[in-house]
């Protein structure tokens, strides 16, 4: 089949969604399909600009390319799933959350003015149209599927995706909690940094960069090491050597980090309000789930450091869980 993977692109930003789209293209090609990634830059502000950007996708013609038909379009995120195609499949990593669960929170974008309220409604209306056109709608996590149901009345099938391909391995834990990801407020790294301030024995290594980096650095004490962006080799190495992986965004869609930690046989330290991660991080089975509070996190990290064998067992249980999710199964579902 000739398959287009449609995904938005925020220039100069690369995260889990971009890795997932690339990996999907790779998995399709590995199965003998012609696959191509199609992206359009995405800027969602100011005011109603998000709708202009969606309109760009409505104008993109992916019915054929160079005189030959494109058999299927797999779209991963808003506004890419606004693209029109008779065989469109939406594999939703997340919607435009500012219009939904982020609305009226610190992470929201729209105020109480009639203009902003109506913009938010227009996004919801567009989602109904765009996802309604799809022959199938998948969600990468139960959390995302629940939001689609709650906000849009759309039933989505659950289809988690494997994490990025790394040279996953495990090594003896060296006593630090590892965090990787874009440094923005939604990832809530300040909780872990505050935990490190309260618990002098807690060592933290933070990989990644982002708009919140300066603030986070200013909050950190000597227990927290920022290593910036890391390459795949360094990342696999940090996963292998850490004692546990911290991952606790607010009501996260899913995120690849827990699966990556599990493939390195590391337990995940998360919070009760983390959303999607809770679908795989089960308290005292594959990690620790604590209240979203720095003291609780400090206590959790201390527990993991003091109970190394238990932590290893939880990591191994996580690995068994992560290995069940394969690209083959994803490709079968998406092209089925």
Partner 1 sequence: MRVAYYSPLPPSRSGIADYSALLLPALRERVEVVVAEPGKRAPAADVALYHVGNDPDAHGWIVDALDERPGVVVLHEYVLHHLIAGMTIGRGNGRGYLDAMERELGVAGRLLGLGVLDNLLPLLWETQPERFPLSGLVLDRASGLIVHSHYVGERARRAGYGGRIWQIPHPAWPMHDVTPAGDVNGEPLIGCFGFLNMNKRIPELLRAFAAFRRDRPGARLLLAGAAGERFDVTRRLERLGLTEGVERLDYVPEERMWSLMAACDVLVNLRYPTMGETSGSVIRGLSLGKPLVVSDVGWFSELPDDVALKVPVDEVEVEVLQAALEVATDHGAALGAFARTYVEREHALPRVAAAYVDALETAAGGDAVDDAVLWRIAEAAAEVGIDDVQALAQAARASGIVS
**Smallest distance from the beta carbon of 117 to partner 1, in angstroms?**
4
* Other C-beta atoms lying within 10 Å of the C-beta of residue 236: 18
291 near 271, Cβ under 8 Å? yes
Is residue 54 at the binding interface for partner 1, with CB under 8 A as the rule? yes
* Binding segment (CB under 8 A) for partner 1, from list 48-56, 159-167, 231-239, 246-254: 48-56
**Smallest distance from the beta carbon of 125 to partner 1, in angstroms?**
7
**Smallest distance from the beta carbon of 118 to partner 1, in angstroms?**
3
Is residue 61 at the binding interface for partner 1, with CB under 8 A as the rule? no
Burial label for 41, CB within 10 Å (0-12, 13-18, 19+), is: exposed
**Smallest distance from the beta carbon of 11 to partner 1, in angstroms?**
19
157 near 137, Cβ under 8 Å? yes
Task: Give, as ranges, the residues between 83 and 102 that touch partner 1 (CB under 8 A).
Answer: 84
Nearer to partner 1, 37 or 51 (CB): 51
Nearer to partner 1, 147 or 161 (CB): 147
Is residue 60 at the binding interface for partner 1, with CB under 8 A as the rule? no
User: Could you give the CA distance from residue 18 to residue 10 in angstroms, rounded to a whole number?
Assistant: 9
User: Could you give the CA distance from residue 161 to residue 138 in angstroms, rounded to a whole number?
Assistant: 11
Is residue 43 at the binding interface for partner 1, with CB under 8 A as the rule? no
Is residue 115 at the binding interface for partner 1, with CB under 8 A as the rule? yes
* Binding segment (CB under 8 A) for partner 1, from list 110-118, 190-198, 261-269, 326-334: 110-118
Site string for partner 1, 117-156 (x = CB under 8 A): xxxxxx-xxx--xx--------------------------
104 near 36, Cβ under 8 Å? no
Nearer to partner 1, 123 or 235 (CB): 123
Residue 83 CA to its chain's centroid (Å): 22
**Smallest distance from the beta carbon of 121 to partner 1, in angstroms?**
4
* Placement of tokens 């996260």 in the chain: 252
Sign for the pseudo-dihedral over CA of 279, 282, 285, 287: positive
Residue whose C-alpha is closest to residue 172's, from 264, 91, 99, 260? 264
Strand order in the sheet with 287-290: 224-228, 203-207, 176-180, 244-246, 268-271, 287-290
**Smallest distance from the beta carbon of 94 to partner 1, in angstroms?**
20
Facing residues of 94 across strands?
A: 77
Nearer to partner 1, 126 or 196 (CB): 126
Which residues would be at the binding site for partner 1 (CB under 8 A)? Answer: 47-49, 51-52, 54-55, 58-59, 82, 84, 112-122, 124-126, 129-130
């Amino acid at each position: 089949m000739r398959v287009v993977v449609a995904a938005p692109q925020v220039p100069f930003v690369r995260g889990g969604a971009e890795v997932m789209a690339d990996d999907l293209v790779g998995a399709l090609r590995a199965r003998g399909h012609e696959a191509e990634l199609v992206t359009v830059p995405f800027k969602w502000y100011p005011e109603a600009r998000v709708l202009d950007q969606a309109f760009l996708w409505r104008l993109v013609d992916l019915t054929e390319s160079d005189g030959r038909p494109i058999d299927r379009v797999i779209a991963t995120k808003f506004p890419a799933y606004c693209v029109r195609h008779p065989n469109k499949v939406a594999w939703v990593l997340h919607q435009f959350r500012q219009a939904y669960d982020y609305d009226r929170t610190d992470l929201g974008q729209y105020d109480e003015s009639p203009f902003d309220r109506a913009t938010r409604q227009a996004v919801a209306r567009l989602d109904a149209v765009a996802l309604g056109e799809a022959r199938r709608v998948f969600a990468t996590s139960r959390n995302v599927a629940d939001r689609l149901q709650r906000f849009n009345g759309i039933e989505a099938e659950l289809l988690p995706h494997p994490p990025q391909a790394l040279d996953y391995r495990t090594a003896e834990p060296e006593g630090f909690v590892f965090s990787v990801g874009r440094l923005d407020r939604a990832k809530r790294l300040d909780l872990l940094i505050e935990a490190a301030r309260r618990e002098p024995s807690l060592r933290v290594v933070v990989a990644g960069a982002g708009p919140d980096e300066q603030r986070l650095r200013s909050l950190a004490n000597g227990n927290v090491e920022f290593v910036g962006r890391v390459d795949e080799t360094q990342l696999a190495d940090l996963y292998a050597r850490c004692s546990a992986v911290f991952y606790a965004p607010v009501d996260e869609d899913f995120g690849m980090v827990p699966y990556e930690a599990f493939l390195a046989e590391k337990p995940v330290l998360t919070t009760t309000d983390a959303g999607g991660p809770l679908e795989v991080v089960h308290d005292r089975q594959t990690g620790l789930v604590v209240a979203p509070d720095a003291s609780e996190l400090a206590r959790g990290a201390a527990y993991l450091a003091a109970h190394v064998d238990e932590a290893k067992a939880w990591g191994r249980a996580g690995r068994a869980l992560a290995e069940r999710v394969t690209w083959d199964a994803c490709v079968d579902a998406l092209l089925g």
